[in-house]
Amino acid sequence: MQKNKISAAAKRLLQRRGVAAVLAAYVLFLLFSVVWFAANGQARNALLSAAYLLIAPAFLLIERAFGLEFGAVFAALLFFLAAGGILGSSYDVYTALPCFDDILHGLSGVIFACAGFGLAQKIFGKDGAGKSFFACLAAGFVFTLAVASLWELFEYASYAFFGIDMQEDTLIHGFDSYFLAGSHNATVVVDGIEKTVIYYGNGQTLVLDGYLDIGMYDTLNDITVCFLGGLAWVAVLLIDHALHGPFRRLLLPRLLQDTEQKSADVPAKSAQPPANGNDR
């Protein structure tokens, strides 16, 4: 029975050629990364690349568990986002292209809004149920903001408990402070900071060209970019809904029982006996 289920799932995936091609490209990229980093003695990056391979089967399992089927465009965006984690940290694209992190967070705003729409559709019903489209649209937008917040909590927890710095540091040149004022009724404005000198206990010093913020700007910037990505998604889908355009079909998931029902209807129609006039 289990073999039959796996065989059926594999057959269904092969029928979705676009999704299968995206998955194959993603897996090949990670396998190459594992070999490349291992050959260059970068064990951490090799293990991270291997761990990211689990996202591919997780995607298929989540689809099946929630009764959803995503298209090739969504899969391409999702696995580009996943591959971006390796490209950014392991291949150091974050340093070479500083805006790359913003691109990924903006993209995540679209991806998780689509996923949230699909989950809400399971609850509210299909479009034919009147206002369900707008309810699902609102749920998708809220869902993507929730995921963004949870991700930033994960980044902070990684630093607080394991010392893993996932929050990008930012050099700033001014800030306002209640702390320096000694009261919450006033603020001290510190502006025009050109250098900060850090003195270590062993007598060494570190000079920075500004004041180092260790995560607040990065966290709020990531959530804001995700918010804007989700907002753009809402705007595009509202226009698309009014014009009966293609974006919904490309981005949003279909309910799995609907696609399975359509597949089941095809042989059922072909199995019908011919009309009496031709049955001679």
Tell me, yes or no, whether 130 and 233 share the same domain.
Answer: yes
Tell me, yes or no, whether 150 and 108 share the same domain.
Answer: yes
Tell me, yes or no, whether 238 and 137 share the same domain.
Answer: yes
Say if 235 falls within a structural domain: yes
Tell me, yes or no, whether 205 and 236 share the same domain.
Answer: no
Say if 136 falls within a structural domain: yes
Say if 83 falls within a structural domain: no
What integer is the mean pLDDT of 107-133?
Answer: 83
Q: Between the CA of residue 75 and those of 15, 19, 83, 118, 238, what are the distances in Å?
A: 15, 6, 12, 14, 22
- In this predicted structure, what is the pLDDT of residue 138? 94
Q: Which residue has the higher pLDDT, 228 or 264?
A: 228
- In this predicted structure, what is the pLDDT of residue 244? 85
Say if 238 falls within a structural domain: yes
- In this predicted structure, what is the pLDDT of residue 257? 64
pLDDT at 278 over 50: no
Could you tell me the residue range of the domain that residue 178 belongs to?
A: 170-213
pLDDT at 18 over 70: yes
Tell me, yes or no, whether 175 and 208 share the same domain.
Answer: yes
- In this predicted structure, what is the pLDDT of residue 256? 74
Tell me, yes or no, whether 225 and 136 share the same domain.
Answer: yes
- Tell if the pTM clears 0.85, that is, is over it: no
Give the least confident one: 123-132, 156-165, 199-208, 235-244: 123-132
Look at residue 10 and give its three-state secondary structure. helix
pLDDT at 229 over 70: yes
Tell me, yes or no, whether 225 and 207 share the same domain.
Answer: no
Say if 228 falls within a structural domain: yes
Q: What is the pLDDT of residues 55-103, one digit of tens each?
A: 999 999 999 899 899 999 999 999 999 999 999 999 999 999 989 999 9
Which pairing describes strands 68-69 and 254-255: parallel, antiparallel, or unpaired?
antiparallel
Total structural domains within the chain? 2
pLDDT at 216 over 70: yes
Cα 246 to Cα 225: distance, rounded to the nearest angstrom: 25
Tell me, yes or no, whether 122 and 208 share the same domain.
Answer: no
Tell me, yes or no, whether 130 and 159 share the same domain.
Answer: yes
Cα 208 to Cα 171: distance, rounded to the nearest angstrom: 8
Q: What is the mean pLDDT of the chain?
A: 86
- In this predicted structure, what is the pLDDT of residue 279? 44
Say if 1 falls within a structural domain: no
Q: Between the CA of residue 209 and those of 120, 172, 186, 194, what are the distances in Å?
A: 48, 9, 28, 6
pLDDT at 269 over 50: no
- In this predicted structure, what is the pLDDT of residue 15? 76
Give the gyration radius of the chain's Cα atoms: 25
- In this predicted structure, what is the pLDDT of residue 116? 95
- In this predicted structure, what is the pLDDT of residue 270? 46
pLDDT at 219 over 60: yes
Tell me, yes or no, whether 159 and 227 share the same domain.
Answer: yes
Say if 122 falls within a structural domain: yes
Tell me, yes or no, whether 120 and 180 share the same domain.
Answer: no
CB contact at 8 A, 119 and 143: yes
Tell me, yes or no, whether 105 and 181 share the same domain.
Answer: no
Share of the chain above pLDDT 90, in %: 60
| Other residues' Cβ atoms within 10 Å of the Cβ of residue 10 | 12
Which pairing describes strands 174-177 and 170-172: parallel, antiparallel, or unpaired?
unpaired
Say if 184 falls within a structural domain: yes
